[in-house]
Amino acid sequence: MSKSLLIVESPTKVNTLKKFIGKDFIVKASVGHIKDLPKKKLGVDIDNDFKPDYITIRGKGKILDELKAAAKKVENIYLAPDPDREGEAIAFHIQNEVAKLNKGKIYRVMFNEITQRAVTEAIKHPTELNVNKVNAQQARRILDRLVGYKISPLLWKKVQRGLSAGRVQSVALRMVCDREKEIREFKPQEYWTIEADLEGSRPPPFQAKLFKIGADKAEIPNQAEADLILKTIGAGPFVLEDIVKKERKRNPSAPFITSTLQQEASRKLNFSPKKTMMLAQRLYEGLDLGPKGTVGLITYMRTDSTRVADEAIEAVRGFIAGRFGKEFLPDAPNVYKSKKTAQEAHEAIRPTDVNLDPASVKEYMEKDLFNLYELIWSRFVSCQMCPAVLDTTQFDIRAGNYLFRANGSVVKFSGFLQVYEESMDEVLDASGKANDRLLPLLEKGETLKLSRIAPEQHFTQPPPRYTEASLVKALEEKGVGRPSTYASIITVIKERDYIKTEERKIYPNELGILVSDLLVENFPDIMTEEFTANMEDQLDQIEEGKTEWVKTLKSFYGPFQKDLEKAEKSMRDVKGKMEQTDEVCEKCGKPMVIKWGRFGKFMACSGYPECKTTKEIGEGNASQKNGANELVEGSCEKCGAALVMKIGRFGKFIACSEYPKCKFTKPVSLGVSCPREGCKGYVSARRTKKGRTFYGCSEYPKCDFTSWDKPVAEECPQCKAPYLVEKWKKDEGKFLMCVKEGCGYKSASAA
């Protein structure tokens, strides 16, 4: 019995670890948690200090039996689930099951990366289970169970069955709904700007914007004021009054932590947080790199620390000097501050071997996996490079009492920009536009030639809707959730159909707004960002051994129980208050009423359950809201009846007016024919099961044409391609682009 047993979470790690630790170890995987609270009951004894009733997860009995059998055959057991609270809880439950079967020692080992060095070192220096970390995970699990299992039945009773609430997810939903209310209530204010196109003694021509009127900042409220200024300025003269030149340094961004990786992958690669974490998990656990075998390519991806190990710093500095030259290497390593709450035992997300550059591993990865690895690798290398140096120039141009200003910059030394640039990092001028234009070499005092001066109307904009990236950023800033939970928070409220994403922006569904309003009205104490952030702090204190987990739960449950009892009586009964309509059921003649369903309001026969007739409710005029569907051109391909526009779970679609007798449906056309040769279909908007909009052929599954970019029925003016696609960039907004290879046409903006 000389062998040892190493137990990990994921089965994909098993073969890699066997290669590292040799024949002296048996390696087994728990495949995640083996124990959890039961699904069909609360599973928490509130009166007995919140004692949890853990049971073996359905389907894990066989795995647990294998772990027990292996434990009997070895002397020592090494528990190696992931290095976080969830991993600690998994290790704790495994230890409870196998301890009585093993006479040797049970150790806890943690790998921040799946490499020969890291694994060997971890096994050489094992630790013990961290009970405080287990208690923190247990407290979180019980808190979430109490909220979910106590509030969800209320929603079933007052709104409809199948709804659910979560301690953290509901706060995230409130943030989305509150932002939507801000947007709807926003009243835009008109303002104007004035720009002049000017030329000096040397090219190129440039633009300058009215910056000051006298000593005050230029604020133009309406067209009359703008016209008066133009009349006063006339043709000038425009004199270059001052030139300010500065050298400015631009520092690299910190290496990735979980939240920044999710944000940047969303912005640059259009990945959801869930997809980013799934791909990162694969990179962490290891990929087959041909002759090199299976290699873990990145460090652990659930972290809020920007700390980097000394040996990794040494390696990347050597790489930078060799690849780019010593002028790109700072005298000392760059150090980045982590948040106060960061787990400094963890490292930032980085490549395990900087010499495995993206080009050298590309052939072993599919596209998405490669793109994420390239992002992580580039960010890490750039974080240890010298700052970029920019020469910035500011022109102040005097036209009587009016001062115009132009800004420009040029990269003098690329520094870290040689490798990586964070997508949201933009050099902005006073007007908020990208400050990357080059101004001509002119002399102070020059009189400039005016070629055009024009006013432009603007309106103040409401706060932007969240994207998945900006929601993750907001959750992190407000202390709602932790690195391991950001992806699941967004995924859960999407899967509950409380929110949807369109063109990368998050919109709350009608049902999401209703649920959020009900929760805020009845549970004001727990539905706040402050309360949720404070609870996260208390969980951190449990992990640090500064407070007891039972004490934390008691302090939460007392007020929560009072809110619960009050809500039972006072929560609005949406289910019981059905809206009456003027419509009658086409089957039985009884009045139709408006009810709430999983996907929002719908019309149903008041004779339910005897009559189960239902209809969708349109979004347009009053007649649609009363249940009448809008007629569209054409006739049903099956029965010849009229066609109507309907609203379903995935948006608008066309259906036969004789439903339910005839169930013919078809998608709504964008006016673009399918580009596949020989296909007679057309392109329409569709949604994935997760709510993300894409565009595909109406002849699916016969034709598999799809596009994430929205096709627009406009011919390319350059190559005459039959359609363009709509794109969006942060610094440019919407624009149209040709998809034909080699064309490169791009419009200034899209309507």
Q: Looking at the predicted structure, is the pLDDT value of residue 434 above 90?
A: no
Query: Pick from 227, 751, 718, 730: which is nearest to 454 by CA?
Result: 227
Nearest to 205 by CA among 455, 453, 450: 450
pLDDT in tens, 316-361: 999 999 999 999 999 999 999 887 666 656 899 999 999 999 999 9
Residue scoring higher pLDDT (476 or 671): 476
Cα(653)–Cα(437) distance, integer angstroms: 46
How far is 347 from 356, CA to CA, in rounded Å?
A: 19
**Does position 624 have pLDDT exceeding 70, yes or no?**
no
Report in angstroms the alpha-carbon separations of 742 from 674, 738, 739, 745. 20, 9, 9, 9
What letter would DSSP give residue 220? Answer: B
Q: Who contacts 217 (Cβ-Cβ below 8 Å, separation ≥6)?
A: 211
Comparing CA positions, the residue from 323, 282, 319, 326 lying closest to residue 301 is: 282
pLDDT tens digit string along 239-269?
A: 999 999 999 999 999 999 999 999 999 999 9
Rounded CA-CA distance 218/221 in Å is 10
Cα separation, 17 vs 115, whole angstroms: 8
pLDDT at 415 > cutoff 80: yes
Confidence at 435, pLDDT banded by 50, 70, 90: very low
Nearest to 653 by CA among 641, 661, 642, 643: 643
- If pLDDT is split at 50, 70 and 90, which confidence band does 680 have? confident
CA 142 – CA 46 distance, rounded (Å): 10
Res 651: pLDDT: 61
Phi, psi of 111 (to 5 degrees): -110, 125
β-pairing, 106-108 with 76-79?
parallel
> What are the structure tokens assigned to 35, written together?
């124990």
- Distance in angstroms (rounded) separating the CA atoms of residues 72 and 475: 45
pLDDT at 626: 37
- pLDDT of 628 reads 41
pLDDT greater than 60 at residue 471: yes
The pLDDT, as a whole number, for residue 102 is: 84
- Indicate the DSSP class of residue 405: E
CB 32 within 8 A of CB 9: yes
Rounded Cα distance, 188 and 463, in Å = 11
Contact 309, 347 (CB under 8 A): yes
DSSP secondary structure string for all residues of 422-449:
-TT---B-TTSSB--PPPP---TTPEEE
Q: Can you tell me the distance from the alpha carbon of 733 to that of 730, in angstroms, rounded to the nearest whole number? A: 6
DSSP code, position 139:
H
Active site residue 608: no
- Alpha-carbon torsion angle 479, 485, 486, 492, nearest 10: -120
Distance in angstroms (rounded) separating the CA atoms of residues 708 and 548? 49
How far is 349 from 293, CA to CA, in rounded Å?
22
Which among 359, 364, 388 has a CA at the least distance from the CA of 374? 359
- Whether the CB-CB separation of 109 and 118 falls below 8 Å is answered with no
Summarised one tens digit per residue, pLDDT across range 195-213 is 999 999 999 999 999 999 9
Q: For residue 745, give Cα distances in angstroms to 105, 180, 750.
A: 68, 35, 13
Query: In whole angstroms, what separates CA 95 from the centre of its chain?
Result: 36
In tens, the pLDDT along 25-56 reads 999 999 999 999 999 999 999 999 999 999 99
**Structure confidence at residue 701 as a pLDDT band (50, 70, 90):** confident
> 3-class SS at 534?
helix
For the beta carbon of residue 574, count every other beta carbon within 10 angstroms.
Answer: 16
Q: What DSSP state is assigned to residue 253?
A: P
For the chain, which domains are there? 4-129 (3.40.50.140), 138-181+472-570 (1.10.460.10), 190-251+388-459 (2.70.20.10), 258-383 (1.10.290.10)
Cα atoms found within 13 Å of the Cα of residue 183, Cβ hemisphere only: 13
Give the CA radius of gyration of the chain: 31
Query: Which one is catalytic: 107, 300, 557, 659?
Result: 300
Pairing of strands 206-213, 402-413: antiparallel
Q: Which residue has the higher pLDDT, 428 or 251?
A: 251
pLDDT in tens, 95-143: 999 998 988 899 999 989 999 999 999 999 999 999 999 999 999 999 9
User: Looking at the predicted structure, is the pLDDT value of residue 432 above 50?
Assistant: no
Rounded distance, CA 378 to CA 319, Å? 12
- pTM of the entire predicted model: 0.78
* Residues contacting 651, CB < 8 A, separation 6+: 685, 687, 693
User: Which segment of 219-233, 409-423, 424-438 scores lowest on mean pLDDT?
Assistant: 424-438
Phi, psi of 656 (to 5 degrees): -70, 140
Contacts for 332 with CB less than 8 Å, ≥ 6 apart: none
The three-point CA angle 547-550-555 to 5° equals 85
300 within 8 A of 112, measured Cβ to Cβ: yes
Q: What is the pLDDT of residue 598?
A: 60
Instruction: Categorise residue 143: left if φ over 0, alpha if ψ from -120 to 50, beta otherwise.
Output: alpha
* Distance, CA of 309 to CA of 300 (rounded, Å): 13
How much of the chain is helix, strand and coil, in % rounded to 5? Answer: 35, 25, 40
Per DSSP bridges, beta strands 665-666 and 651-656 are: antiparallel
Task: Using alpha carbons, select from 499, 422, 495 the residue that is nearest to residue 467.
Answer: 499
